[in-house]
Structure 1
Amino acid sequence: MVSGKRILYYSTLSVLFLYFLFAGLIETKPFLAPFTVALVLALLVYPLSRKMEKSFFNRSWASIVNTIFIFLISLGFFALFSMQVKNLVDDWPKIKETMKPKIEKLKDFVFEHTPLSQKDLEESSKGGLSVPFLSTGSQPGKKAASFFSKAMSFFGNYLLTFIYIFFMLNYRQHFRKFLLRLFPDEDRQRLQNVILKSANVIQQYLIGKLILIGFLSVFYAIGLGLSGVSNFILVSVLAAVFSIIPYVGNVIGFGMAMIFGYLVSGNPGVLIGISLTFFIGQFVESYILQPYIVGDKVDLHPFITILVVVTGNLVWGLIGMILAIPLLAIVNIIFLNVHSLHPFGYLLSKEEKTG
């Protein structure tokens, strides 16, 4: 009975802890999400900042230059994305004309092989299944105000992220010494190792991902260009960048290529070319390049990784999915270097590690 009560007690505490943890993460997303993105990006450019400080820049100027460098890269990505959206809007009438006969064939197939009928489809459309944002309904002022509010919030967090990056780079020694002073002298060396390992694993993972993005950009551009995809260079770069999102990013990239390739032209040959390009590219990336470039630097169990990516999507959406693996890698390093938490490190890792 004592053992059963203890299990029930700790189980209840664990459930309550997880509930309030995730509820807190969701509520504090406007603050924590930009801060965490800034932390990861600061770790990415930290080696470059150190080299600049050793040459001809002081720490403040090196931090400013690296912050502006990341800012310009992000602006370039937004420019590519906006150009792609503009191309999609321009090609939308052509896509509708190309897909119209295919949609009619799909409807005929559904009506012939399922209990559904044309009347059911019309009733479901009348029942309010249309997209609210695209409907020509009432209260356009509220929609415009909501959109403006979300846009202002996004750009506010966007600019705040780069402010965080500058201060993290410029005052990193101050923050590191603060963390070390929280622990007794005998534990400071272990904490120092955890900080160094966490920084190194994030840097190696992100730099490896950037190399893979460069490879995919070139490979996709060649394959999609030969396949006859419209705006294949922009599509290739965006598809490669989206691959940084675990599991889902490749699907997004493939969907973009389908829209600007097969849906615009309607040529089945383009569909075959797109499918072959993405299949070969993903095979080479996953089984040939990634083991050598990224390797086992982020040594995480694949099942746990999927769970964390899904959880990141539920908590912080797209940003949560992108940050899931780097943050899980840091948590795993902490678990493996704290003796009492070592079983959790074993659970997260592919193989057993020693702290």
Structure 2
Amino acid sequence: MIPLKWQFPLLLLLLAVAVWLLSPILFPFIFSLVLAWMGVPLVRRFERWGLKHDNAVLLALAVLFGGLILGLLILIPLLWMQLSSLVDGVPRFLIWIRETALPWLALHLPIDVMNFSDREHFEAWIEPYKKEIGNAAASLIGTITRSSGAVLAFVSNMLLVPLITFYFLRDWNAILSKLHQSIPRPYEATVVRLSRESNSVLGGFIDGQFRVMLCLGALYAGGLWLVGIESAMLIGFLSGALNFVPYMGFVVGIVLAAIASIIQFGDIQHLIWVVVVYGIGQFTESFILTPRIVGDRIGLNPVMVIFVLMAGGLLFGFLGVLLALPVSAVLNVVFKYLYEERYLKSRMYVALPPAPNADSPPRPDV
């Protein structure tokens, strides 16, 4: 028989192993669970308006997926137009590399580089790499072809999301009731308290993140528009949307904006202004938007944020990156409770050293 004090840690270990083993198929269930959690307030509001539970669930489901579909219908055509514009600008990008970037590197770096402004020299230099580029492209196409089964499985799983979300929404109260009944009675008050604190933290975190993403997207889009980037709206709001993973929006956005600037203008001045825009955006997000809108709800410093993102990605892939911060927020609530309510009130922390023997000489102060 396993001692009682080891049962809960063992259960957590088994749960972590199960998540690791099942991670390839967990994404639609996790995504559905998040959507259901976001849709529960809608269901309760519709019920207060007089709708029956099933009708309220269907209406909330329609609102959630209607918003997602509308967003995709707006985003996909814009994305296609901007990608077409970038593809059309690739020849200008190659010319900029040949006539501006490579000569600058040849002038400032201590290496023996030919005169790349000469088109014949440039083509002669790139000729040996054409075969390797072709082989890489063929390998990529083969990989995509072999991965068609995995892509089909992913699409099939995503088609299950509306159905899974519906059942989560319909049975939400029953699921919570079952979980409540399964809590050991001596720990009921503590678990309920931590659950409510975790729910509040997650709600505030997600709401704050959406606001930060919107503000940051508007800031990047406006700044790139002032610089004169044609795809400013797409790149700016894409940078803001990707900010749900810290630093991803900044990295992806500045790379796309730099490429667009080079294709469109082909000079260093506009590239510098792009860097300035993203520098201002990153400063604003780190020191103004996130502290004031999100606050210290998670309670993790930037180094720990980077660590949990890397650890989540290493252990569970992309799903781990998505769940790293929310899970850290919940664990921080638990650790805060253990530290304040258990450790600080334990005998280990508050026990006084034994009184010195009256016959022994007093110890000098250190």
What is the rounded CA distance, in whole Å, between the counterparts of 1:251 and 1:298 in structure 2?
Answer: 23
Deviates more, 1:284-293 or 1:58-67: 58-67
Q: SS of 2:246's equivalent?
A: coil
Q: Do the aligned residues in 2 keep the contact of 1:208 with 1:294 (CA within 8 Å)?
A: yes
- Between the two proteins, what is the percent identity of the paired residues? 24
Deviation at 1:227, TM superposition (A): 1.0
CA gap of 1:244–1:342, structure 2 versus 1, over 3 A, is farther
Q: Partner residue of 2:42? A: 48
Instruction: Give deviations 1:118-148, integer Å, cap 9, x for gaps.
Output: 9xx87984895x486623x6x96x5564353
Q: Partner residue of 2:350? A: none
What is the rounded CA distance, in whole Å, between the counterparts of 2:43 and 2:284 in structure 1?
Answer: 32
**What are the residue-to-residue correspondences of 1:244-263 with 2, within 5 Å?**
244-263=244-263
CA gap of 1:24–1:97, structure 2 versus 1, over 3 A, is farther
Q: Is 2:251 aligned against 1:239?
A: no
Aligned AA (2:50): F
Aligned AA (1:98): F
Of 129, 134, 138, which aligns to 2:137?
134
Ranges in structure 2 where 5+ consecutive residues have no aligned partner? 1-8, 115-120, 344-366
**What are the residue-to-residue correspondences of 1:1-355 with 2, within 5 Å?**
25-79=19-73, 80-81=75-76, 83-103=78-98, 107=102, 109=105, 113-114=110-111, 125=129, 128=132, 130=133, 134-135=137-138, 143=143, 145-337=145-337
What is the rounded CA distance, in whole Å, between the counterparts of 2:77 and 2:305 in structure 1?
Answer: 31
What is the rounded CA distance, in whole Å, between the counterparts of 2:336 and 2:61 in structure 1?
Answer: 32
CA gap of 1:340–1:149, structure 2 versus 1, over 3 A, is farther
Q: Partner residue of 2:359? A: none
What is the rounded CA distance, in whole Å, between the counterparts of 2:146 and 2:67 in structure 1?
Answer: 28
Deviates more, 1:21-30 or 1:64-73: 21-30
Q: SS of 2:299's equivalent?
A: coil
Deviation at 1:67, TM superposition (A): 2.8
What is the rounded CA distance, in whole Å, between the counterparts of 1:179 and 1:221 in structure 2?
Answer: 45
What is the rounded CA distance, in whole Å, between the counterparts of 1:110 and 1:304 in structure 2?
Answer: 41
Aligned AA (2:22): T
Aligned length: 323
Deviates more, 1:265-274 or 1:104-113: 104-113
CA gap of 1:21–1:327, structure 2 versus 1, over 3 A, is same
Q: Partner residue of 1:4? A: none
Deviation at 1:191, TM superposition (A): 1.7
TM (norm. structure 1) is 0.76
* Aligned-CA RMSD value: 3.7
Structure having the higher Rg: 2
Instruction: Give deviations 1:166-187, integer Å, cap 9, x for gaps.
Output: 2222211111122122222222
Q: SS of 1:281's equivalent?
A: helix
